[in-house]
Structure formats: C-alpha cells, structure tokens
Structure 1
Amino acid sequence: MRYASVTTRLADLGGAKWEIHAKARAMKAAGLPVLEFTIGEPDVPCPDNLIETAATAMRAGRTGYSNGRGEPALTRALADRYSARRGRTISPDQVMCFPGTQTTLYAILMALVEAGDEVLVGDPMYATYEGLIRATGAAPVGVTLRPERGFRLDPADLARAVTPRSRVIFLNTPHNPTGAVLTRADLAAISEIARAHDLWVLSDEVYEDLVFDGVDFVSPLDLPELADRAIACASISKSHAAPGFRSGWCVGPAEFCARLLPLSETMLFGNQPFIADMTAAAISAPSEVAAGMVARFSARAALIHDRLHGVAGLRVHCPDAGMFALVDVRATGLSGQDFAAGLLEAEQVAVMPGESFGAALSGWLRLALSQPDAVTEEGCSRIARHAARLLDRAA
C-alpha cells in the first residue's frame, strides 16, 4: 500500500526516542522496583480549585463546540497576562489557543515553513522538535549548544548556520533538556540576525514559571524590534501541574494569528470550553504550585551535583530552570544510550539518554528532578555504582 511521505520522514522520530522509558514502564508493570527519572512531569497534583473550575464549567454546560482561535475569556486573560509580563500591549487578536504546546508548535511550523525550507534550532533539543520540523517537509539545522557556554545558544554559531533557505529560528527558553535560559544580550544578538535575514523567531517558553532563584527570564516578545516576527508559546502543563488537560497557546503578531486561524479551524476547530475556563482561571493569578516546584527542583539538581559530580568520572551540569539535570558519562567510554540501557538492566534506574535530544548530547544522560528526595538519593547511589563498575572493567 502507498503512504504519504510524512510517514517516512517521521518513521524514527516518535516512540523510538523513548525506548528506555517504555522498557522501564514495562518492567514496573511486571513488578520490578524501577526508579524512574525519564519523564518531566510535575511532582504535585493539579490544584483542586482548578479541577473544580473545570468540573463546574462542565456541569454548567460548557461542553459544546468552541472556535478556532480560543474562547474569548481565555484569549482576553492571556492578552492581559502577556501585556503585564512583556511590558507592551498584547491584544486578544494576537493570541491563539490549542490543546497543549505540542499541538501549538505543530500548527505554527505548518504555517511558517514547507519543503525546501530550513529551521535553525539548538542541538540538543527537546525530543519532538525534529519531528515537528520534518513533518512540514522542512529540514532542521542544528546549532550546537556548548556546555562551556552553559548550553545557551551562541549568536555567532547561529549566524554561521544561516543559509538562503533559513526561515525560522526555533528557540526554547528555558531549555529542555539543559535548563539553560537565554539572556537579554543573547536575544538582542539573535534579534539582529533575525532582522538581517528576515527570519521568524519562535520561542517555546513552557518552563517560564520554573526559573530558579537569581536567574532572569527574558522572552523575544520583550524586544520591541521583534514585535513583527516573534511568536511565543506555552501551556499550563508545567506551571500549573496540569499536563493531562492539554491546554496551550501562542502569542504573536495579529497578522500571523489571522493567517494561522484557518489552519487551526481545519485541524481541530477549537478546544474544550470547560478547559478554557480552567486555563483562564489558572493564568489570571500566580500559580499555586510553581514556586514549590522551583524550590524542590533546584534543590534536587544540587543534590545530584553533590552526589555524582566528580564521582567515577561523571560530571553534572546544573540547570538554571526547568525540571532536569544533565550527567556527562563520556568518561566511561559509553554512549548515553548504552549507559542508560545498562543502568536499567543492572540497577533498575531509568534515565533518558542524551542521544534522544540530539548529537550534541551524545554521551550524556538527562535526569528528571521530579522524584522525591529519597528516591533521587537512591538513584544517584545506583548511578555512581554502575559508573564505578564500568570504570573498573575498563581498567
């Protein structure tokens, strides 16, 4: 039988990246005591008041069709939120709502690029980004994010990667998997490149509310010179511990949103009104859970650094935001994939291999910071033991 070419482009870009996670879940289902550090889910439940808001809306009949842009109360609430945070007026016609950040990014990229185009994106990158880009027919052009620069995108490296086929600079700040946060100076230099080459700037900012103490978050939307070409997206998945509700959005120029609207209407013709009501309530006040996650995640990153950095050749990169820490295992002589596979078999600890996030993270691991402190301590002990065993064998 014949299939569309998109199925070939995405053939190895889906579940294959999550092989270790899937195997760990199967082992847990079989009764094995696996310690799971693979998925970045909040470590607290969604607040009761938000669940009650959604339930009340459902009981009130808010279960009908919506529209392709988003419920008016939600687009207004988002416009108000972004106007306050970005220091300039954002109107509701600059907002589009979708079921989660993933869907938002898919729609945005479908509207901006096509076959023959290139999207400039940091390497490493979140595991779905390559698939999002290739689904459009465009090609991702990885710009290496170097640990000596804290994994922040270097504008000079970005400028060297631009070609006549470049159309979009795809940013993720705060960054997954590295936890890096772009500075205002970084963004100012990126802005010059975008304007010089007439490029869009797309910024995934889903971790904005999980920035650690002493770190300043800056969005491309903060820079007036990017007003006509910057698009930011986020959701309540991380900030409000509500990943299962699938409620996200994007903010950009009004003309862009008008162009995106027919695509949104074709894709899904609106998300659920009762979830929109819940989201409007969530983003209209400070998150009840974000500050606690920031405190716990930053402390666990420090704990992982204390337990593993310098042990058996391991090196730990601590994040500035988000819910992951990175561990460099290259001293063991193994790839991140092989180390993670061996760790799961020998110690029943599941971590994400760096290769799932791009070639630049080959020989690294990503550890979620969402497990309780005692579980994180035990996981570190098992990782250190496995690394020491590998070094002894190599000696």
Structure 2
Amino acid sequence: MRYASVTDRLAHLGSAKWELHVRARAMAAAGREIIELTIGEPDVPTPQALIEAASAAMRAGRTGYSNGRGEPKTVAALAQRYSARRGRPVGADQVICLPGTQTALYGIFRTLVQAGDEVIVGDPMYATYEGLIAQTGATMVPVRLRPEDGFRLRAEDVAAAVTPRTRVLFLNTPHNPSGAVLRPSDIAALGEVARAHDLWIVSDEVYEELVFPGVTFASPMDQPDLADRTVIACSISKSHAAPGFRSGWVIGPTEFARRLLPLSETMLFGSQPFLADMMALAVSEPSPVAGGMAARFANRAAMIARGLEGVAGLRVHSPEAGMFTMVDIRATGLSGEQFALDLLDAQGVAVMPGESFGAGMAGWLRLSLTQDDARTTEAIRRIALHAQGLMGNAA
C-alpha cells in the first residue's frame, strides 16, 4: 500500500528524539528511582483561578462548537495584550487561536512555505523544529549558534546562509535549549537581513515571561519596521504552568491571518470554548506564577554551574531564561547520547542528549531546571560522580 511522502519525511523526527525520556519514564514505572531532568514541565500546578475559570465555563454550558479564529472574548484579550505591549494597535483580525505553540507553528509554516523553499533556523534548536519544517516539504537550513556568542543568532551568519530559495528566518527567543535571549540590537540586525531578502520572520516566544531577573525580553514584533513580515507563536503552557490545556495563539499581519484561517478551520474548526475562557483570563493579567518560576530556575541554573563547571572537564552554559541549562561533556570523549544513556543506567538521572537538538549540540546535554532544589542538588552530585568515574576509567 502507498503512503503520503510526509510520513517518510517525519519518520524519525517525532518521538524518536525523546527515546531517552520515554525510557526513563518506563524505568520509573517499573520502580527505579529516577531524577527526571528531561522535559520542561513547570514546577508548580496550574493556578487555581484558571482551573476555576475553565470549570465554571463548563458548568455554564460552554461546551459547544467554536470557530477557526478563536472565541471573540479570547481574541479580543490577545489583541489588547499585544497592543499594550507593542505600543501600537494589534487588531482582532491579526489573531488566530490554536492548541499550543506546536500547533501554532505547524499552521504558520503550512501557510508560509512549501516544497522548494528554505527556512533558516539556529542550530541547536528545539527538537520539533526539524519536523515542523519537513512536514511542508521545505528544506531546513541550520545556522550554527556558538557558545562564544552566547548562542545568540548572528546576522552575518544568516546573511551567508540566504539563497534565492530562502523564505523564512525562524527565531526562538528566549531560546530552547540554550536559554539565550536576543537583544533589540540582534533583532534589528537580523531584521535588516530579512528586509534585504524579503524574508518572513517567524518567532517562537513561548518563554517570553520566563526571563531571568535582570534580563529583558525583546521581540521582532516590537519593531514597527518589521511588523509587516513578523509572525509570532506563543501559549500559556510555560508562563501559566498549563501545558496540558494546549492553549496557544498566532499573531501576524492581517493578510497572513486571513490566509491561515481556512487552514485552521480545516484542521480543527475551533478550540474548546471553556478553555478559551480560561485563556482569556490568563492573557488579560500578568501570570501569577511566571516570576517565581523564573527566579527558581535562575537559582537552579546557578547551582548546576557551581556544582559541575570544571568537574572532569565539564563546561556549563548559563541560560538567561527558560527552563533548561546546557552542559558540555565533550571532554569525557562520549557523545551526548552515550553519556545520557550511561548516566541514566548508572545513576538514575535522566537528561536529554544534545543530539536531539541538532548537530550544533552534539556532545552536550540539556538539563531541565524544574526539579526542586534538593533533587537538583542530588542530580548534580550524581552527574559529577559519573563524569569523574568516566575520566578515571579513561586515565
């Protein structure tokens, strides 16, 4: 029997990248004590006010069909939020509500590119980005993000990667996995490249509210001269500790949203109204949990840096935002995948191998910052012990 070519393009770009996480969960289910530092689950429950909003909406009968753009109250709340943040009007006709950032990005790329096109993205990158681009038939063009640049994308590197087939510059700020935050000057320089080559800018901003103390978030949508070519994707998954509610959105130019709308209607024809009511409340007010999470994650990143930097040749990259920190384990002579598998088996600590996030992170690990301080401290001890044992064996 025959299958669509998209299934071949995505065959190894889905759950295969999360095999270690799945293995760790299976070990834990079998009774092994595992410290899980793999995925970005918030370290607090969803705020009770949001739970009550969704529950009240269900009790009130908000369980019928919606529409492809989103519930009017939610769309209006998002338009108001971005108008206030960006200092210029953002209309309801620029908003599309979709289930989480992943679906939002799927819809964005389905709207902007197709076979024969190219998308430039920083490497390392979030594990699903390759699949998001591949599903359209377009080609991903990775541009190396360097530790010495703080893993911030450089405009000159992007300019060197542009070809006549390039259609999109894909940004992620704050960045997963590195936690890097683009500065306004970075965005201005990248925007110059985008204007010079008539490129779209797609910006994944799901960690916008999880910048660490002393760091300021910036978006290409902040800059009026980039607004007509910028599309952003975001959700309440991280900022409001609500990943299971799958509540996200897209903001872009009016014509872009008009073209995305039929795709949204074809895929979903609307999200659940009771979840839309919850999201309307969430985006209308500052998150009650984001500030606390950012402070705790910054503190745990510092703990990991103090505990692992220089141990058996390990190097730690300190993030500026988000839920993760990165550790360079190349001095051990192992790949990230080999180290992570050995660490899981020997020490019961689950981390993500850097190879899941692109060639630029080969020989690195990504550690989540979402375990409490005591378990993070114990994970640091076990990782250090494991690295020292590897180097001792090598000697």
Instruction: Tell me the TM-score normalized by structure 2.
Output: 0.99
Q: Spell out, residue by residue over 1:211-245, the C-alpha distance to the aligned partner (whole angstroms, 9 max, x if none).
A: 01111111010111111110111000000000000
Deviation at 1:273, TM superposition (A): 0.5
Letter in 2 for 1:87: G
Give the distance between the partners of 1:226 and 1:252, measured in 2 at CA. Answer: 11
SS at match of 2:228: coil
Give the distance between the partners of 1:64 and 1:120, measured in 2 at CA. Answer: 40
Q: Spell out, residue by residue over 1:13-48, the C-alpha distance to the aligned partner (whole angstroms, 9 max, x if none).
A: 011110110100000000000110001010000011
Letter in 1 for 2:189: A
Give the distance between the partners of 1:179 and 1:71, measured in 2 at CA. Answer: 33
SS at match of 2:106: helix
Deviation at 1:190, TM superposition (A): 0.7
Q: Spell out, residue by residue over 1:49-69, the C-alpha distance to the aligned partner (whole angstroms, 9 max, x if none).
A: 100000000010100000000
Deviation at 1:132, TM superposition (A): 0.4
Q: Does 1:75 align with 2:75?
A: yes
* Identical residues among aligned pairs (%): 69
Letter in 2 for 1:179: G
Aligned to 1:348: 348
Q: Spell out, residue by residue over 1:124-179, the C-alpha distance to the aligned partner (whole angstroms, 9 max, x if none).
A: 00000000000000010001000000000011101000001100000000000000
Alignment of 1:183-194 (within 5 A): 183-194=183-194
Alignment of 1:148-227 (within 5 A): 148-227=148-227
Alignment of 1:274-353 (within 5 A): 274-353=274-353
Give the distance between the partners of 1:69 and 1:104, measured in 2 at CA. Answer: 12
Give the distance between the partners of 1:162 and 1:330, measured in 2 at CA. Answer: 31
Give the distance between the partners of 1:259 and 1:232, measured in 2 at CA. Answer: 15
Runs (4 or more) in structure 1 with deviation over 6 Å come to none
Give the distance between the partners of 1:300 and 1:276, measured in 2 at CA. Answer: 33
Deviation at 1:87, TM superposition (A): 1.3
Deviation at 1:393, TM superposition (A): 1.1
Deviation at 1:204, TM superposition (A): 0.3
Give the distance between the partners of 1:173 and 1:41, measured in 2 at CA. Answer: 18
Aligned to 1:261: 261
Aligned to 1:42: 42
Give the distance between the partners of 2:106 and 2:343, measured in 1 at CA. Answer: 34
Q: Does 1:95 align with 2:95?
A: yes
Instruction: Tell me the TM-score normalized by structure 1.
Output: 0.99
Residue ranges of structure 1 left out of the alignment (5+ in a row): none
Letter in 1 for 2:170: F
Letter in 1 for 2:33: P
Give the distance between the partners of 1:38 and 1:308, measured in 2 at CA. Answer: 17
Letter in 1 for 2:4: A
Give the distance between the partners of 1:162 and 1:193, measured in 2 at CA. Answer: 9
Give the distance between the partners of 1:87 and 1:304, measured in 2 at CA. Answer: 38
Letter in 2 for 1:365: L
SS at match of 1:163: coil
Letter in 2 for 1:228: D
Aligned to 1:228: 228
